[in-house]
A and B are shown apart, each in its own frame.
Chain A
């Protein structure tokens, strides 16, 4: 492949949205209320839409016969390069919203920078997605506040969720090899530069929600190198089942 770095870089962005979209999509018909059920599946749909644009572009760059579906459905677990945060299970609604919020804050900051990319396709996808992701962030922030500053039980559940997921936040700002090369070429986003703004925003919402900012001396990593938590395998088993059972099926 001629442009392997760009290809890997695109997967690094898109895999996050695919895996988070799949997590949210699995709440279809299982959300805690009709409104939240619809909200999670709507966000899932937005993410899948964005993913299609990224994978279509990646398939074009690969220049062989692979399609967007091959990229989404036919890789093995170690070939997915999403961050560990997005593959964490739904657990309960506090976890689902905490995971969403912790990713949305990053996602918006990232897209705002990606808009300035020299690569016109990536910049167009970013420009389109920003509107959707801002809406996701408003929704998830609202739930952090509502549950954090709610009853004693909702407060505790949201605090537990934040404490549990905090260890996955630092990985968002780790640079991969493809990242470094793409940043140098003016195509990629320097994620290390987003870290300060990220924790500033996250901490402000947590404080407003009367939540303790979790303290962690050690952070989990590995997703960007394909080394995942045990949860991803199960998620992929469900995601890929139809394509594996009935190869080449289309919708």
Chain B
């Protein structure tokens, strides 16, 4: 019931990889790790997705987008939202982390480092624009539930940091 393993039919992977997070269009939902199950049962695909944050409004959109992507590939589907096991930023793939940084969002640090940057003001987050770690926290909460707001004191660019959730 609370397995952390994903169970995804190989044939469905290329279809699901086309679906992206509406808030972060460069990040596919597969790289984000929100798809936990996608299996073909008879002529129906059963999909289980898990939210990043409870209130994430993107989840409804993601569910609809998965449905239409599968429909376009000839599959009917059922989408179920599951809460256990709870999503963690560890499930973002290395390719997903790279996509985040290329898009201008600093990828999550380890849980320990995350606490020191968000609570103790340590300068550890790397600016996605210039690579400097001379960055500071502007706001513990950011433009979406999963991000905090930072600014780089070298290149002066403000940027989002994807908070570690573990």
Binding site for B on A (CB under 8 A): 34-35, 38-39, 42-43, 45-50, 52-53, 120-121, 123-125, 127-129, 131-132, 135, 138-139, 142
Contact = CB atoms under 8 A, between A and B. Distances in A.
B139 A46 contact: no
Contact of B139 (A35, A43, A47, A127): A35
8 contacts: A45-B55, A46-B145, A48-B55, A49-B51, A50-B54, A53-B83, A123-B84, A132-B53
A50 B85 CA distance: 15
Contacts of B2: 124
Closest 8 pairs (CB-CB, A-B): A49-B55, A49-B54, A124-B84, A45-B55, A35-B139, A42-B141, A124-B83, A39-B141
A138 B1 contact: no
B31 to A, nearest CB: 21
Interface of B: 1-2, 51, 53-57, 82-86, 118-119, 138-143, 145, 149, 163, 165-166
B84 A38 contact: no
A120 B118 CA distance: 32
Given A53-B83, A124-B83, A127-B83, A139 B140 contact: yes
Determine chain B's interface SS by DSSP, over half rule: loop
A39 B82 CA distance: 26
A38 B149 CA distance: 10
A39 B147 CA distance: 11
Contacts of A46: 53-55, 145
Which of B53, B55, B86, B138: most chain A Cβ within 10 A?
Answer: B55
Nearest to B84: A124
Given A46-B145, A120-B84, A138-B119, A128 B54 contact: yes
A45 B86 contact: no
B120 to A, nearest CB: 11
A35 to B, nearest CB: 4
Contacts of A45: 53, 55, 57, 145
Contact of A39 (B1, B57, B139, B163): B139
A176 to B, nearest CB: 24
B86 A128 contact: yes
Contacts of B149: 35, 38
A50 B119 contact: no
B76 to A, nearest CB: 23
B54 A132 contact: yes
A101 to B, nearest CB: 15
Nearest to A43: B141
A129 B103 CA distance: 28
B165 A131 contact: yes
A38 B139 contact: yes
Given A49-B51, A127-B84, A128-B84, 11 more contacts: A35-B141, A42-B142, A42-B145, A45-B57, A46-B54, A49-B145, A50-B54, A124-B83, A128-B54, A138-B118, A139-B140
Contacts of B84: 120, 123-124, 127-128
Contact of A127 (B55, B57, B86, B166): B86
Contacts of A132: 53-54
A53 B54 contact: yes
Nearest to A17: B54
B71 to A, nearest CB: 22
Given A46-B53, A49-B55, A50-B55, A38 B119 contact: no
Contacts of B56: 49
Most buried by B among A121, A131, A138: A131
